[in-house]
Amino acid sequence: MRVLAIGAHPDDLEILCGGTLARFRERGDEVVMCHVANGNLGHTEIPSAELREIRREEARRAAAVIGAESVTLDIGDMDVFLERSSRNRMVDVIRRAAPDVMIVPAPTDYLADHVISSQISVDASFVASLPQFVTEVDVHFRLTPIYFTDTIAGVRFEPEEYVDISSVEKTKREMIACHESQARWLKEHDDIDYVEFAMKQSAFRGVQCGVAYAEGYRLHRVWGRIPTKRYLP
Amino acid sequence: MRVLAIGAHPDDLEILCGGTLARFRERGDEVVMCHVANGNLGHTEIPSAELREIRREEARRAAAVIGAESVTLDIGDMDVFLERSSRNRMVDVIRRAAPDVMIVPAPTDYLADHVISSQISVDASFVASLPQFVTEVDVHFRLTPIYFTDTIAGVRFEPEEYVDISSVEKTKREMIACHESQARWLKEHDDIDYVEFAMKQSAFRGVQCGVAYAEGYRLHRVWGRIPTKRYLP
Amino acid sequence: MRVLAIGAHPDDLEILCGGTLARFRERGDEVVMCHVANGNLGHTEIPSAELREIRREEARRAAAVIGAESVTLDIGDMDVFLERSSRNRMVDVIRRAAPDVMIVPAPTDYLADHVISSQISVDASFVASLPQFVTEVDVHFRLTPIYFTDTIAGVRFEPEEYVDISSVEKTKREMIACHESQARWLKEHDDIDYVEFAMKQSAFRGVQCGVAYAEGYRLHRVWGRIPTKRYLP
Amino acid sequence: MRVLAIGAHPDDLEILCGGTLARFRERGDEVVMCHVANGNLGHTEIPSAELREIRREEARRAAAVIGAESVTLDIGDMDVFLERSSRNRMVDVIRRAAPDVMIVPAPTDYLADHVISSQISVDASFVASLPQFVTEVDVHFRLTPIYFTDTIAGVRFEPEEYVDISSVEKTKREMIACHESQARWLKEHDDIDYVEFAMKQSAFRGVQCGVAYAEGYRLHRVWGRIPTKRYLP
Amino acid sequence: MRVLAIGAHPDDLEILCGGTLARFRERGDEVVMCHVANGNLGHTEIPSAELREIRREEARRAAAVIGAESVTLDIGDMDVFLERSSRNRMVDVIRRAAPDVMIVPAPTDYLADHVISSQISVDASFVASLPQFVTEVDVHFRLTPIYFTDTIAGVRFEPEEYVDISSVEKTKREMIACHESQARWLKEHDDIDYVEFAMKQSAFRGVQCGVAYAEGYRLHRVWGRIPTKRYLP
Amino acid sequence: MRVLAIGAHPDDLEILCGGTLARFRERGDEVVMCHVANGNLGHTEIPSAELREIRREEARRAAAVIGAESVTLDIGDMDVFLERSSRNRMVDVIRRAAPDVMIVPAPTDYLADHVISSQISVDASFVASLPQFVTEVDVHFRLTPIYFTDTIAGVRFEPEEYVDISSVEKTKREMIACHESQARWLKEHDDIDYVEFAMKQSAFRGVQCGVAYAEGYRLHRVWGRIPTKRYLP
């Protein structure tokens, strides 16, 4: 199976669904990790241009932990709007990834970059299936199920499906830890221990479904995308 | 796997989850079908006592179609209340069935018998797991996932999980058709073609998830009962 | 009474509210049917430019079945965005139609074209009432009630009001059948029998409200648009 | 048409739907007003037994204002439980009233007496239609639409349908004013001007739907009770 | 201020709102802790009668940690029903505690004992204010705000208000640890580390509101009980 | 404390939270009132350019009643879109106001200008905290709690928190009355008595929480913005 996971910024996927992606990989699925915004405003002191490069590299290292491919739309932070150019670039990301299932940010998440990345991903996924919408990449006919990841801190999100990530807890920690610049920023900006912050949420989701660590999801439930089997690992 | 499906009256299970039960059976699972109320008021002319016998037999025949066991709490129609006696009789039904997964009526369904049967089933399921609650049947330790069936006519119910029943459509029709007394009553009382009434809903649920016929479910999402895998066929 | 019904693509109105429009016409109301996107990407083989013409003609024929007027914003498929130009063209559609009641897509429908067509219609409806917003068409002062149609396949939509369309079932089938290009595309792309697909939903909505066929609606409930009588037929 | 309106205590109907009942009467419908609890605890000083008599008489006078019939289940305040005896007495109230439409308390209202009166009314309404459930009153076959009134102070209640009561505002005030004992108690117990308290809510509901005074309702939306026309005046 | 906190079983209050109660005490408020069910079925091996005594003592010790009073309705586990006797015993608990604010179980919690304890508490709170409802304890006129605690594992519960319990984290751990019998049972029955289980939830609620540990609440929002100031510490 | 209140048009703040702002001022907080759209289409006869000037002055006078500062984004009515230019101008409004708490329109309000003003405010609030997002105004690091005001007419809005404005009722009336042009337009366009229209809603919110007049709010509940104390007066 081919999995395309889309996050708002470098590190969001690792925090919200890193364990699930590791489990997809464990069972042999191909995984492409895409972040929409390049994270260039995510630091108090490192200049944007430099930070953009640093974070691109951090995302690549995190993906490499599980042998996933890392791609990006490379949009500036807080510059994600619902417009043709971004939507269409996402169409090609999807056509290249040719996924059987997609994972995207929740529309109730805390920040515009997340909310609009969610919309762009969903919209582009349909466009990618239309043969008359010609781009430089071949059409990807399949309308896949789309799962929303948990929100940051789990606010306004009640999971419908849970993935047990207890067996890959360390892998998830390792993936998150690749984002060194972010760990420093969150420490400075919000006094948050980055890896622990993420794992507290995974521990809580684990409490809810009776395992050590878990990640939660909701299906984007619309016509043409509702499965009759479980896609999540 | 062992499956316990609980419906409000004889025929509710057949209408709402007959196809799913057939598919459970196909893959080798054991299925126990229990109706809470005996259906004794479900006719304009047949006297209650006689009707109760007729419907008990109809339920047995419907269960036999898929090789399921048929049991009942044998409470009178519209006499289902949330009280100790009914709850405790359900405890023993559950302990005898010893299920790995339960299917019960939706709490939003159209009639008190359905709503309260739902509550009794959920409550009894917990009691059945308590060793200090001694009855004549052995404790059943396992707290199983519980799925709510669709409601009659699908009002106030948005399914979270779908089961493709296209391959067992005829079996479902056959199960429903066993309830001959009810077919007549619904024809007289509401001018409804019984089997078609049920299959229109299955066809619609099929439209929603992209198959010919389907049945929809929601998980009773509470602590101790949330799975990390799919139980439905 | 004057009715303005707005759908996302040619055929959406026919599928979701064709029966209701037929009933409006039966009682003598004027009906204008507007589609926002021209459907130019709705086929695997027919080139966009040609398809646009074909579908424009199909929409006209479908409207003619009930003696309704057919208009369009003529935006390309998946090119519907919340922007001034589209909103303002809709303002003139509304001012020309001068409706007493509007029917628009549900904001929870499955596709961006539907969701944004819904927003544009609602927004334009207010602008159309402002005399200082000068366009080439006269202001339409009346703030009308707005009803959302059902979604495709009825996912994420619980109707609040139902219209019995049993008496115009054949008319609805005839309207849908006018969209011959779409029937073929859906057959090829999703293996769906077009007319039956739509009528299964109408049959199910009929089951819910106790008639043979029905269509469901929700009111856009905001200040200035809440009626104290029934507008739907 | 015959209307059966059921309130929790004497005065709840007058406050929550008095204007609507007046409008039903204006167009010639028959109205039966039933209160479930007798209001015997609704005063700090008047002893229960005496209060029960006073309030029974006040309810009769209020009903007389619009020429409605007044009946009661005569259960003690805060003694309304979901049990056979109360449910069955309600069955006979319904069979005697033989309604075409029912109005009952909202299940989200502020007090157990309201919540359970709502449940009893809904449950009894079904039982009343069953010929094999024999009581001293003839079966009432019709399953009517059921509307929930607004809640006290409109908390946890978003109306779906509104009734314009501007033309009967004075009648509503007069009906409420019949409950003299209650006016005193609310003044003493909560420092509330009784009639104004009620009319502020009617004025607000009027603001919402663009009239001077209004009352709001929600349909009890379940199978067998969903109309395709407007029953409210 | 006087606080009455009601939990389903001995230990539920400690787990769900122990930190908040500690903070109430810190600022000088009086706290009464009441459990409805006596916990007599909460063990696989200790006989019920003995367990009931043990747990009563554990609850007293936990309350003593913060200088709170401990009371109980002493109903058997899974024997909590919505009936007069239990409701009326709760009336006297409330009248004796004479609270300014109440904390009760969430109506969406995982178990009937919790759900019904919630209902009984809310209902009794109103009855306790009625002077004509005479019991051996004086009427408590005040209708207090009522807050629902979080659910076990936080399923089906989105907090509206948060209390920062970081400063009393150790106190909360100490209170929970008093329930030694339960710690063993949960370890055996569900393989759960009791104190850590509870603190993971507090840590997650802390993540949500930006502190180390927190507890979450929802207001029982009905007429007569809505405050215009914050009651929680 | 510093308060930034953002409304869609001149007068929306006065109607929806004027009393609360008065109470903030009473306790010594600084208040900045910002309207997004300049109200230039809010009249049938006064030309837009002239009206814009009139309404700017009316807003200043209303703010002066409570000693608040008045600012505006000065966007044309119905020209508020989610785009960079507007969002970025709001960033500077927020940086200049440097608030400890923000009040913005509800995302469920009746008009696009309100809905999008809400989005712009929330998005800009985050951007304003990013030091790498350089504008001519200094970064405002603090991520504040954000409260949504009630909607116009209170439709689709259930308040979570209430502010008692009984003591400043006259101040609120005075603030609203400053908008003389609007009073005339609403009288002509919708036959609404402007001040009474607003105060009926405040009276109803007062009924809900047991005071003479009140205003209702909901928290924008997302990560980083959830308080553990009450910010509202």
DSSP label of E76: P
Element housing D87 (H / E)? helix D84-97
* Closest-approach residue (CA) in chain F for C143: F190
Give residue C188's Cα distance to chain centre.
24
CB contact under 8 A, A190 and E203: no
CB contact under 8 A, C79 and A83: no
CB burial string A78-90: b at 16+ within 10 A, e below: bbbbbeeebbbbb
Residues E149 and E221: beta-carbon distance below 8 Å: no
Digit-coded pLDDT (tens) for B54-64: 999 999 999 99
Interface of A with C (CB under 8 A): 82-84, 119, 122-123, 126-127, 130-133, 141, 221-226
CB contact under 8 A, D222 and B190: no
Residues D150 and D214: beta-carbon distance below 8 Å: no
Averaged pLDDT score across all residues of chain A: 96
Minimum-distance CB partner of A207 among E156, E201, E207: E201
Residue F189 has pLDDT above 80, yes or no: no
Closest alpha carbon to D60 in D48, D52, D68: D68
Minimum-distance CB partner of D131 among B44, B78, B82: B44
Tell me how close the Cα of E211 comes to any Cα of chain B, in angstroms: 25
Integer-rounded Cα radius of gyration of chain F: 16
Q: List the beta bridge partners of residue A70.
A: A33
Q: How confident is the model at residue C34 (pLDDT cuts 50, 70, 90)?
A: very high
* Cα distance between residue E123 and residue E133, in whole Å: 13
Digit-coded pLDDT (tens) for A201-227: 999 999 999 999 999 999 999 999 999
Cβ neighbours of residue A73 closer than 8 Å, sequence gap 6 or more: A34, A35, A36, A37, A86, A89, A90, A93
- The mean pLDDT of C202-227, rounded to a whole number, is 97
CB contact under 8 A, A112 and F131: no
Averaged pLDDT score across all residues of chain B: 96
Tell me how close the Cα of C177 comes to any Cα of chain A, in angstroms: 21
Write the DSSP string, B172-197: HHHHHHT-HHHHHHHHHHH---HHHH
Count of C-beta atoms within a 10 Å radius of residue F66: 22
- The mean pLDDT of D38-65, rounded to a whole number, is 95
Tell me how close the Cα of F209 comes to any Cα of chain A, in angstroms: 26
Cβ neighbours of residue E27 closer than 8 Å, sequence gap 6 or more: E233
Residue percentage of chain C with pLDDT more than 90: 93
Averaged pLDDT score across all residues of chain C: 96
Residues F50 and F58: beta-carbon distance below 8 Å: no
Query: Can you give the pLDDT at residue E132?
Result: 94
Residues of chain E with confidence (pLDDT) below 50: none
D30: left (phi over 0), alpha (psi -120 to 50) or beta: beta
* Closest-approach residue (CA) in chain E for D49: E132
- The mean pLDDT of B31-38, rounded to a whole number, is 98
Structure tokens at C20: 């209701």
What backbone phi and psi angles, to 5 degrees, belong to B161? -130, 145
Cα–Cα separations (whole angstroms), residue B29 to B1, B22, C196, D77:
5, 10, 35, 51
Closest alpha carbon to B148 in B158, B134, B137: B158
Residue numbers in D near C208 (CB within 8 A):
223, 226
Residue numbers in A near C45 (CB within 8 A):
131
Interface of A with B (CB under 8 A): 158, 160, 162-164, 208-211, 214, 219, 221, 223-224, 226-230
Preferred mutation among C163, C215, C226, C231 to probe D, highest tally of D CBs within 10 A: C226
CB contact under 8 A, F153 and D208: yes
Residues D2 and D99: beta-carbon distance below 8 Å: yes
Residue numbers in F near E209 (CB within 8 A):
226-228
Residue numbers in A near C51 (CB within 8 A):
132
Digit-coded pLDDT (tens) for C46-79: 999 999 999 999 999 999 999 999 999 999 999 9
Beta strands B214-219 and B161-164, pairing class: antiparallel
Judging contact as 3 or more Cβ pairs under 8 Å, the answer for F and B is no
Name which residue leads in pLDDT, D193 or E176: E176
* Cα distance between residue D135 and residue D94, in whole Å: 12
* Closest-approach residue (CA) in chain A for F121: A112
Structure tokens at E226: 């809505």
D106 in helix, strand or coil?
coil
Residues B225 and B13: beta-carbon distance below 8 Å: no
Digit-coded pLDDT (tens) for E50-101: 999 999 999 999 999 999 999 999 999 999 999 999 999 999 999 999 999 9
Residue numbers in B near C158 (CB within 8 A):
155-156, 158
DSSP label of B45: S
* Cα distance between residue D117 and residue D158, in whole Å: 20
Helix residue ranges per DSSP H, A27-111: 48-65, 84-97
E210 in helix, strand or coil?
coil
Residue percentage of chain A with pLDDT more than 90: 93
* Cα distance between residue C219 and residue C145, in whole Å: 7
Structure tokens at B170: 């005829």
- The mean pLDDT of A155-177, rounded to a whole number, is 98
Residues C36 and C7: beta-carbon distance below 8 Å: yes
* Cα distance between residue B61 and residue B70, in whole Å: 9
Write the DSSP string, C132-190: TS--SS--------EEEEPPGGGTT---SEEEE-GGGHHHHHHHHHT-HHHHHHHHHHH
Judging contact as 3 or more Cβ pairs under 8 Å, the answer for A and D is no
Query: Can you give the pLDDT at residue B45?
Result: 87
Q: How confident is the model at residue F48 (pLDDT cuts 50, 70, 90)?
A: very high
CB contact under 8 A, E226 and F219: no
* Cα distance between residue F90 and residue A215, in whole Å: 36
Residue C144 has pLDDT above 80, yes or no: yes
Digit-coded pLDDT (tens) for D150-170: 999 999 999 999 999 999 999
Residues C20 and C233: beta-carbon distance below 8 Å: yes
Interface of F with D (CB under 8 A): 153-156, 158, 190, 197, 200-201, 203-204, 206-208, 210
* Cα distance between residue E7 and residue E200, in whole Å: 20
Cα–Cα separations (whole angstroms), residue A144 to A2, B175, C78:
10, 34, 18
Cβ neighbours of residue C70 closer than 8 Å, sequence gap 6 or more: C32, C33, C34, C59, C60, C62, C63, C64
Residue B177 has pLDDT above 90, yes or no: yes
Preferred mutation among A189, A190, A194, A200 to probe F, highest tally of F CBs within 10 A: A189
Residue numbers in C near A116 (CB within 8 A):
none
Residues F216 and F205: beta-carbon distance below 8 Å: yes
CB contact under 8 A, E84 and D81: yes
Write the DSSP string, chain F: -EEEEEESSTTHHHHHHHHHHHHHHHTT-EEEEEEEE--TT--SSS-HHHHHHHHHHHHHHHHHHTT-EEEEEEEPTT---S-HHHHHHHHHHHHHH--SEEEE--TTSSSHHHHHHHHHHHHHHHHTT-TTS--SS--------EEEEPPGGGTT---SEEEE-GGGHHHHHHHHHT-HHHHHHHHHHH---HHHHHHHHHHHHHHHHTSSSEEEEEE---TT---SS----
Tell me how close the Cα of B224 comes to any Cα of chain A, in angstroms: 6
What backbone phi and psi angles, to 5 degrees, belong to B21? -65, -40
Give chains near E: 3+ CB pairs under 8 A: A, B, D, F
CB contact under 8 A, D131 and B156: no
Strand order in the sheet with E30-37: E69-75, E30-37, E2-7, E101-104, E146-149, E214-219, E161-164
Residues C33 and C105: beta-carbon distance below 8 Å: no
Residue A189 has pLDDT above 90, yes or no: no
Residue numbers in E near F162 (CB within 8 A):
226-228
Residue numbers in F near D204 (CB within 8 A):
154, 200-201, 203-204
CA atoms within 13 A on the CB side of A1: 19
Residue B25 has pLDDT above 90, yes or no: yes
Query: Can you give the pLDDT at residue B101?
Result: 98
Amino acid at E194: Y
CA atoms within 13 A on the CB side of C211: 19
Output the CA torsion sign for C177, C182, C184, C190: negative
Closest alpha carbon to D171 in D59, D57, D66, D64: D66
Digit-coded pLDDT (tens) for A123-145: 999 999 999 999 999 999 999 99
Residues C61 and C70: beta-carbon distance below 8 Å: no
Query: Can you give the pLDDT at residue B190?
Result: 73
* Range with lowest mean pLDDT among D40-44, D138-142, E8-12: D40-44
